[in-house]
Each structure stands twice: as structure tokens, then as C-alpha cells.
Structure 1
């Protein structure tokens, strides 16, 4: 049973491909830019661009499962093509933000929510994986840390439970190869609530030197963030972190609760990726 992986250049997509291939499952990697993909020998590579529906049929031919990154552009056409190709199961890498009270108007949540709704309205069996913050979001601090600059934060005491991307890949592999998650919607987090200050202290230990933290105004943070993301998205993130400053983050499902094996800690992620924060 061939499984198609969209967003195959991403860390989670790459992890799912590696797990399926190592376990002997037929797997096909898809990307809008297939020439840029690096996959294990024997993994098929196909073009699939969501703004080009003419690429759908070939990529889905013979496929029975899809691991899908959430992109609302072209999702209605992709659903129809998947149904026509007799796809049986879609595992969507969604987001916990879809559970928020303003999900329909929130620029972060709305992206995934549109995809969830299109799949729910289809005849496909669907599993929704809804991770909260990725541990790898910390790469956003790498430039400052690598140059011994302070990390500037509007809400340094915001609490999240960052999840290791490899845990998401483990859970996605189970969703694609087992039946314990089929048809379910699961919220995923890391095993512990940490403030941004806590995370930076962990990174400090991993690289062996102090990382200064500088609190800045919300307006200054919004200006900085708007340089590399839409202003509405920056505002949404800052609203989220402001709300998260009032208490510990909820710990939801992890590899421990879903797969019966310990969840990877943020400290493990930091140790594995310390070199990215050294400026070398």
C-alpha cells in the first residue's frame, strides 16, 4: 500500500519517509519542487503543486494513504483527486491552533482549519494530528545567540510545551501503519511546560555559555516580527504568547500516552542541535 508524503522537504515529512522506507513500506515523496528533494534510494519522487491541479492525478495514482501538510490552496481539488484515485486514509499534520475560540479568523489557525474542514466533508477516512509549538521554533533565536546578542522577547515568561519533531514523525508513522489513531483527532505537545526563559536556560547549558534575555515592548516585537511574516500573523503570535504568560501550558498527548514510550525532552532537542546556536 503506497503512501504519499506531501511537504516532503520538511523535517517531519523527511522523518516519516525514513521510517516508512526503513520498515519496508512503499513510499512516494511529493513536492512542488521535486528536484530539490533528498530521499532514500528506492523512494519514488513526484511533483505535486497545490496551485497546479494537473499534477495531482499522477502523484496520487496507486496511492492508498496520504500524509498531508496543511495548505488550503487547491485543497478542494486535491480532495476530489484523492477520492477519484481511491485513496483510503489521509493523515493531516494540522495544528492545535484550530481549537482556539477565534480559529476561523485567526491567520495561524485558519490555514489548518480550512484543510480540516475540506477533509471532514469528504468521503476519506482522516486522522488529524494537531501539534502545539515545535521545539525547532527555537531556531528563530539562533542568529542572536550565535553572535552573543541578547534574545529580545516581549513575553519571556510565556509557557509552552514544545514537542520534538521526531516525536511527531513517530506518531505520524503509527497513524499510517497502525489502527490505534485511525479517524482520530489528537492534540500533541512535548512532555513539559517551559517558559521561553526556561528554554533559553536549557540552550545555555547545551552550548556552555550564558544567553542574555532582554524584555522588549510588544510594539517593538511586532515591528521585528513583521519584517519576516505578515503583520496579522505576528500579532496573532504575540496574542498567543501574552495569554500563555498566565500559567503553565497544558500537556496533551505525547509518544508516552499514544505509543507507550518516553517523549523526547526539549533538553534532548537542544543537545542535538547545539551547533546551530554557536555561530560556527
Structure 2
């Protein structure tokens, strides 16, 4: 039984691949440019571009289960190809924004919902994963922290419950190995709601120094963050953060799936502390 892992170079996809390889599964890894993939011994690397239907059939041939990312452009074509290939189970990495309060207008939620809808409309049994905010988003602060500069952010008192990417991969690996999860949607988060200010305090405590915060107005955030982020995505994030100020995030522990408590943000920060350390 071959399991296809898409996005095998990504933070989550690579972790899923490594877990399944350690468990002895027959694997196929895919990417837009498979020549750039470094995979464990015995794992085939194939081309699969989720926006190009002509790459689907070859990559899916002989696949029994698949771990997929959300890419709406050709989602219905993708799941038609999945059905043609006889794939028996799909685990789709989606987002908790799909069930958020602004899901009907939020561009991020609509992006993921479109793929969930395509999966639901197909004949393919699937498990949908809806993690909350990734702990790895904090790496966006690393340059300023390493340089000893204030972290410039809007809405520093907005809450999230950051989820460790290893927990996302653990949930995906469990779902891929257990067909009883087919047809279910799994929403999960980190173990604790933390504001951005509190997350920065955790990093500062591990570094042994204070991390100063410079609060941006929304207009300032649009000007600064808009240099590297599409306007609809930025507007979506700012709306989410504005609504989350002084409102603790809902916590959905992964323990019900993985059998152990979720990893903490402090653990994530400790594992990635080199990214925040001062440069000599």
C-alpha cells in the first residue's frame, strides 16, 4: 500500500514523510520540482503540481492513501484524478479558519473551504485536518529579535493557541494509518492560548533578555506588511487579530488523536532558539 505525501519539502509534509518512513510504510513523495527533493532511502520522488492537472495521474498511479495540501485552483480536477487512481483515503491539510466567525468572507478561510468542498463533492473518503495558527509563524519575528530591535506588530494582545508543526504531522500520520478517521474533520490547536506579546515574552525568557514590542496601527501594518503580503491575505490576518484582542483562543488538544498532550509554544521556541539568537 503506497502513501503519497505532497509538499514533501514543507514544514509539515516533510515531518509526515519522516514519520511514515519510520513506521515502515511504502511511500511516494511529491513536489513541483522533485529533483530538489531529498527523501529517505527507498522513497520515490515524483512531480505533482496541485495547480497543473496534467501532473496528477502519473503521480497518483498505484497510490492507496494521500496527504494533500489545500490548493483550490484545480481541486476538483485533483479529486477526480484521485478517484480514477483508486485512492482509498485522503488526509487533507486545511485550516481552522474554515470554521471561524468570518469564514464566509475571510480569504484564507475561503481558500481552504473551496478544497474541502471539492473533497466532499468527490467520491473519495477523506479526513480533514483543521489546525490553528502554526507556532512557526513566530519565525517572522526572528530577524528583529536577533538584531536586538523591537518587534513591530499590530494587535500584540491578540490571542492564538499556536500549534507545533510536529503535532500537525503526528495527527496526519495517525489519520493516514487509521481508516476509522475517514469522513471526519479534526480541529486542533496548541495547548494554551497566548497573545503575541506573551509569545514574545517566552522567547525573551529563553534568550535571557527582554524582547521589546512596538505596536503598529492598522494603517502602519498595511504599509509595512503589504510590501510582502497580498492585500486580501493581509486584510484577513488583520481582521482575525483585531477580533482576537483580549479574547483567548479556543483550545482543542491533540491528545484525543495522538494519545499525548500537545507540545507547548515554549518547547517550540526552545527548539528554534538559534533563529532568534543575536548574530555576531
TM-score, normalised relative to structure 1: 0.97
- Residue 55 of structure 1: CA displacement? 1.3
Alpha-carbon separation, structure 2, partners of 1:249 and 1:104:
19
Question: Unmatched 5+ residue regions in structure 2?
Answer: none
Matched residue count: 279
For the aligned residues, what is the CA RMSD? Answer: 1.2
Superposed displacement of residue 75, structure 1: 1.1
Q: Which runs of 5+ in 1 are unaligned?
A: none
In the TM superposition, residue 50 of structure 1 has moved relative to its aligned partner by 2.3
SS in 1 for 2:267: helix
Rounded Cα–Cα distance in structure 1 between residues aligned with 2:122 and 2:165: 28
Shift of 1:178: 1.8
* Aligned twin of 2:267: 268
Look up the match of 1:125. 125
- Conserved in 2, the CA contact under 8 Å of 1:143 and 1:279? no
Deviation at 1:26, TM superposition (A): 0.6
Once the two structures are superposed, residues 13-41 of structure 1 have per-residue CA deviations (whole angstroms, 9 ceiling, x without a partner) of 00110011111101110111111112111
Equivalent in the alignment of 1:277: 276
Q: What pairs with 1:170-189 in structure 2 (closer than 5 Å)? A: 170-189=170-189
Paired position in structure 1 for 2:13? 13
Distance (whole Å) between structure 2 residues aligned to residue 47 and residue 279 of structure 1 = 39
Residue aligned with 1:250, SS? coil
Q: Secondary structure at the match of 2:80?
A: helix
Indicate yes or no: 2:103 matched with 1:103: yes
Other-structure match for 1:232:
232
Q: Contact 1:12/1:169 (CA < 8 Å) preserved in 2?
A: yes
Contact 2:174 2:257 in 1 (8 A): no
